[in-house]
Amino acid sequence: MSLLLPTNLQQYPSSSSFPSSTPLLSPPPSTAFVPRRRCLRLVTSCVSTVQSSVANGSSPAPAPAAVVVERDQIRLGLPSKGRMAADAIDLLKDCQLFVKQVNPRQYVAQIPQLPNTEVWFQRPKDIVRKLLSGDLDLGIVGLDTLSEYGQENEDLIIVHEALNFGDCHLSIAIPNYGIFENINSLKELAQMPQWSEERPLRLATGFTYLGPKFMKENGIKHVVFSTADGALEAAPAMGIADAILDLVSSGTTLKENNLKEIEGGVVLESQAALVASRRALTERKGALNTVHEILERLEAHLKADGQFTVVANMRGNSAQEVAERVLSQPSLSGLQGPTISPVYSTQNGKVSVDYYAIVICVPKKALYDSVKQLRAVGGSGVLVSPLTYIFDEDTPRWGQLLRKLGL
Ligand SMILES: Nc1ncnc2c1ncn2[C@@H]1O[C@H](COP(=O)(O)OP(=O)(O)OP(=O)(O)O)[C@@H](O)[C@H]1O
Ligand SMILES: O=P(O)(O)OC[C@H]1O[C@H](OP(=O)(O)OP(=O)(O)O)[C@H](O)[C@@H]1O
Ligand SMILES: [Mg+2]
């Protein structure tokens, strides 16, 4: 597609977009824009050619009634490189699922703990595409990639939406200078008198599905989109765009490029998620069992990850009395209430109970408050240790998954 356009910044209007004219900040390079009609024609014809001749995977999109191709192994897609790759493998490792990759350039790997499953390393967007084409059954990707490339396809099911890494948000950003200096919300941006049919707001983004959708949903009419493969934050200062829509995590890139986020400009919050193909789960033998095991391990690890085990001793006359003291404090109820056990000692050859041991799980964020509360009710010798797994009676997301699948 980029071969047909003068720069790698390709411009194409959304359904509600308009041609660009005078830049408002600094003049764009003469090659930065393609006249709207020509651009639209070029991109449209290019896209249709690509779609009709090349599919990324077995088929461009799953037909709902299509038969699942038979194979013995369940396929899990993991990011092959980039910022999600190492974290995905580390998370599985924390769940005692060890991905055995012989060398980093080998794109298939095994997990000995899941003998019927093979791992395929792919670019995040290709994981979504291959889930849709049936070439993968499960995958770990960012929710942003899932939304952008999955486009709400009903075959994609989110099995776990919060894997606790890859946190970022997709957000509109505008310059913090010039005509935007006093603009701080999407509403104010939309109402700026500068935008018209002849001179729409020019937004650069890699999210060419979510961007136009968000603007349409927010009733913003005079907007035109352009795209590039990276370093979008340069577009406003280069005069190529008025605003950008891109991922933000630390906010450093925006700050370093004199850009700011605006109220109401967040399109979505994202983090890594475990995603599955509905067809694979319902039709591929073994897929549901595999996803159940992965989910149980993930939930047990992720739940434990946010908690500490706290053990303390407390003087008391009975377990009941100690329990009443402990439960009088707001942060000491643990997951299902405190475990209180007698501490036996011998005095003059007689076994007696003067102390009780209290065991509770405490959210990491509430640790210091909990310690203070324990001390306030007579707790001493407080021991804190990390928790590795919490296997609950059931896995809440498993029930949700079965309901989503209609099982
Ligand atoms: N600051 C961030 N910027 C971009 N992506 C982030 C950030 N923080 C977390 N992420 C997550 O990482 C993903 C991007 O990973 P990566 O850079 O490997 O992929 P990519 O650039 O989409 O892939 P490709 O290089 O194949 O185009 C995002 O989709 C998002 O889910
Ligand atoms: O808020 P921050 O922590 O600064 O991160 C945000 C930046 O990181 C990503 O770019 P990436 O590093 O992938 O480079 P690219 O834009 O060239 O793809 C993203 O596109 C933003 O530019
Ligand atoms: Mg990147």
Domain boundary among 245, 270, 295: 270
Are residues 259 and 173 located together in one domain of the fold? yes
122 with 197, same domain? Answer: no
Our answer on whether the CB atom of 258 is closer than 6 Å to any ligand 2 atom is: no
At 78, which CATH number? 3.40.190.10
Pocket test residue of 168, 207, 256, 261 for ligand 1, highest count of atoms within 8 A of CB: 168
Ligand 1 and 142: CB distance under 6 A: yes
Same domain, 149 and 80: yes
- Each residue's pLDDT, cut to its tens digit, for the chain (407 residues) gives 333 333 334 444 444 433 333 344 433 333 333 333 333 222 222 333 333 346 666 654 555 545 578 888 999 999 999 999 999 999 999 999 999 988 888 899 999 999 999 999 999 999 999 999 999 999 999 999 999 999 999 999 999 999 999 999 999 999 999 999 999 999 999 999 999 999 999 999 999 999 999 999 999 999 999 999 999 999 999 999 999 999 999 999 999 999 999 999 999 999 999 999 999 999 999 999 999 999 999 999 999 998 999 999 999 899 999 999 989 888 887 777 789 999 998 988 999 998 999 999 999 999 999 999 999 989 888 999 999 999 988 889 999 999 999 99
What is the CA(240)–ligand 2 centre distance, in A?
18
Q: Is residue 56 a contact partner of residue 269, using CB atoms and an 8 Å limit?
A: no
81 CA from centroid of ligand 3 (Å): 10
Q: Answer yes or no: do 221 and 266 share one domain.
A: yes
Ligand 1 closest atom vs CA 230: 21
In a domain, 66, yes or no: no
pTM for this predicted structure:
0.83
Does residue 204 lie within any of the structural domains? Answer: yes
Q: Which atom of ligand 2 is the closest one to the Cα of 247?
A: 19
CATH number at residue 340: 3.30.70.120
Residues 253 and 370 in one domain: no
Range(s) of the domain holding residue 238: 2-61+168-270
pLDDT score recorded for residue 54: 60
Are both 233 and 103 inside the same structural domain?
A: no
pLDDT at 102: 83
Q: Residues 13, 30: one domain?
A: yes
Which ligand 2 atom is the nearest neighbour of the CA of 253?
Answer: 4
Q: Is residue 395 part of a domain?
A: no
Same domain, 163 and 275: yes
User: Do both 363 and 298 map to the same domain?
Assistant: no
259, 279, 304 — which closes off a domain? 304
ipTM of the complex: 0.97
Which of 304, 327, 354 is the C-terminal boundary of a domain? 304
- Take atom 6 of ligand 2 and give the residue whose Cα is closest: 248
Identify residue 380 by its one-letter amino acid code. S
Asked whether residue 220 is assigned to any structural domain, the reply reads yes
> What is the number of structural domains in the chain?
3
Q: Flag whether 401 is in a domain.
A: no
- Is 300 found in the same domain as 264? no
Report pLDDT for 137: 98
For ligand 2, whether the C-beta of 231 sits within 6 Å is yes
* Within-domain flag for 118: yes
> For residues 275 and 128, is the Cβ–Cβ distance under 8 A?
yes
Ligand nearest to the CA of 123: 1
Is there a single domain that holds both residue 47 and residue 90? no
| Strands 117-122 and 74-79, sheet pairing | parallel
Same-domain pairing of 101 and 237:
no
Task: Flag whether 27 is in a domain.
Answer: yes
Does any domain span residue 391?
no
The total of other beta-carbon atoms located within 10 Å of residue 5's CB is: 20
